[in-house]
Structure 1
Amino acid sequence: MDFAQIKVGPLQNISTMLPMNNKDNDTLQRFIFESTDIRGEITTLSSSYLDLLALQKYPPQVALLFGEFLAAASLLSSSLKHRGMITVQANGNGPITAIMAECSQDNKLRGIVRGNFDNLGDLSSLQELLGKATLAITLEPEGRERYQGVVPLDEDNLSKCLEFYFYQSEQLPTKIKLASNSEAATGLFIQQLPSSGDLEKSQEDWQRVSTLFETLSCDEQLQLSHNDQLYRLFHEQELRLFDAKPMQFSCSCSRQRTENALLSLGRTEVMELSEEQGLIMIHCQFCSQEYRFTAADVTQLFDPPQPLLH
């Protein structure tokens, strides 16, 4: 079954019918407002978020911003209609020089933050941490053309920057709320699609739904289940909530991909490294997996044994 056979309405408190918040952890759910041109996504990341933090040991304020980027990538992954990847990345001249999160079409997350975190003090805002920066959203569908949109990162928070991105690049009215703490990262997204009929009604629907959307607090996002958030906001609307999709941390690195990276460096450079170091060790920056290549491994990589002729 593709979706939950439940509609949110004023006479039906669905908080007794859907899972509580602990079962929403590491899930993404799509929803639509019946008889309107408005769609939405809601996500909560817990174990996947904590798994990533355990690998990197970021300062608290960096970890919180990283959580927002992961939640954003989770929400925006719904735009992938084919196998591939979406990346949400910012580059700046502040203590954080680069921060990125990516999510695949099959709901696998990974990400990383780079910068100098030694003297952050009480710096915590987006502008303080990233300085002058840009935000890039990159869609990479397999076998199709790559697309990237870039906007300045000059709003007060990541949510507002993403809203501006959609306004600038897709001309689709969009609202996004992101929140994170030391245990979870959450996100809520609504978007008005091109009108399928009465333009005046579409505008009225959007105004009503987006006004209700703005009343949700960060504490409510982090404490309430998906169901309770949506009921709290939209219990007077007719809303259909689709089945949850599991989200998980997963790195796409492998020994084969690492071998391909070495091959791309060229025989001369890799052989010189092997002679100098004896053992080439490559660490994946996303998951800390280590790949080791002995001199014999390098030789076999560039001079694979020839098949025997019979």
Structure 2
Amino acid sequence: MSDFTQRFLFEDSDVRGELTALEQSYVHVLAKHSYPPVVGQLLGELLAAATLLVGTLKFDGLLVLQASSSGAIPLLMVECSSEREVRAIARYHAEQLVDGASLRELMPDGALALTVDPRQGQRYQGIVALDGETLADCLSSYFTNSEQLPTRFWLYADGSRLARGLLLQALPAEQLRDPEERAANWQHLTTLADTLRAEEMLGLDNQTVLHRLYHEEVVRLFEPQPLEFRCSCSRERSLNALASLGQQDAEALLGESAGEVVIDCQFCNQRYAFDAADIAQLFSGGGSQQASSTRH
């Protein structure tokens, strides 16, 4: 399995962890667009973060991480479903990219929005400034500022082939009830994680990573949960988008487009084309399920 998340637990303290690895799904995302390495690296880190968060939030629906700014990279966006299906996209200004630039230099005045969109229940969104040295710093700050359980992220991506991530999160007090002892244990575990180098995370399997970091701790490693790239676009959704315009505007768009309306998916580059017969059927009560088999 090349794409998965894997949970682990420290048996003698109230801390859980999660590791993530994206290879085929990450390559699939990068193959859809010719991203420069620095853009691909940040997008990989955000992919890793989203897959780590899905296991933490425990919901049924869609998680969206969207980083926006006024700089060379105005948009990074990742969607991850509760079934661990991912897709991602970036927008950038090639002429403004500088090799070796920091996150704050690439995404000045930036903000990171975390949106949880459950299939049932209320939609939730939290926002944090992109004012840390890394995306991992910004996400860790989000959890600190939101007064939730202490949570730290370590995110890595090589910009072309592999993205990895590590998360540690404090749990409610059971094993360690003394506040000072809990704080010292948390500091100990996160300090060890800070020693992890990118080449170790990108080159070693989970068991080896955990042994190098925590060979003196009792760690229980759970079964991995698979990840995969999957785009949620479809012909039906594209037709629904046309239907939302109304018949008059849809027919006007058809006229402006030489008799064929084409909708492109920004995530996977899939093209959906609709002719006059499709539009007529859409508004005659046939609906998107009845539309003709237009090529895409």
Aligned position for 2:290:
none
2:169 counterpart of 1:188: no
User: Quick one: which of 89, 95, 98 aligns to 2:66?
Assistant: 89
Secondary structure, in 3 states, of the residue corresponding to 1:40? strand
User: Quick one: which of 88, 100, 125 aligns to 2:102?
Assistant: 125
User: Quick one: which of 239, 246, 256 aligns to 2:219?
Assistant: 239
CA-CA distance at 1:199 after TM superposition: 2.8
Aligned position for 2:277:
296
Could you list the runs of 5+ residues in structure 2 that have no partner in the other structure?
A: 288-296
Aligned position for 1:138:
115
Report matched runs for 1:25-40 at 5 Å: 25-40=2-17
Secondary structure, in 3 states, of the residue corresponding to 1:252? coil
Aligned position for 1:156:
133
CA distance in 2, matches of 1:138, 1:305: 34
Aligned position for 1:16:
none
CA contact (8 A) 1:29 1:244 kept: yes
Report matched runs for 1:256-267 at 5 Å: 256-267=236-247
Q: Deviations over 1:81-124 (max 9, x none)?
A: 23211111111000111111121111101010113223424253
The runs of at least 4 consecutive aligned structure 1 residues that moved more than 3 Å come to: none
Aligned residues: 283
AA paired with 2:165? G
Q: Deviations over 1:174-200 (max 9, x none)?
A: 221111112101000001123236133
Secondary structure, in 3 states, of the residue corresponding to 1:207? helix
CA-CA distance at 1:305 after TM superposition: 5.0
User: Quick one: which of 239, 253, 256 aligns to 1:276?
Assistant: 256
Secondary structure, in 3 states, of the residue corresponding to 2:106? helix
CA distance in 1, matches of 2:207, 2:276: 57
Q: Deviations over 1:46-81 (max 9, x none)?
A: 111011101011011111111101111111111342
Pairwise CA RMSD of aligned residues? 1.5
Could you list the runs of 5+ residues in structure 1 that have no partner in the other structure?
A: 1-22
CA contact (8 A) 1:80 1:86 kept: no
Larger mean Cα displacement after TM superposition, 188-197 or 54-63: 188-197
Aligned position for 1:20:
none
CA contact (8 A) 1:275 1:295 kept: no
Aligned position for 1:202:
182
Secondary structure, in 3 states, of the residue corresponding to 1:100? strand
Larger mean Cα displacement after TM superposition, 211-220 or 103-112: 211-220
CA distance in 1, matches of 2:189, 2:131: 26
Q: What is the identity percentage for the equivalent residue pairs of Structure 1 and Structure 2?
A: 45
Secondary structure, in 3 states, of the residue corresponding to 1:31? strand
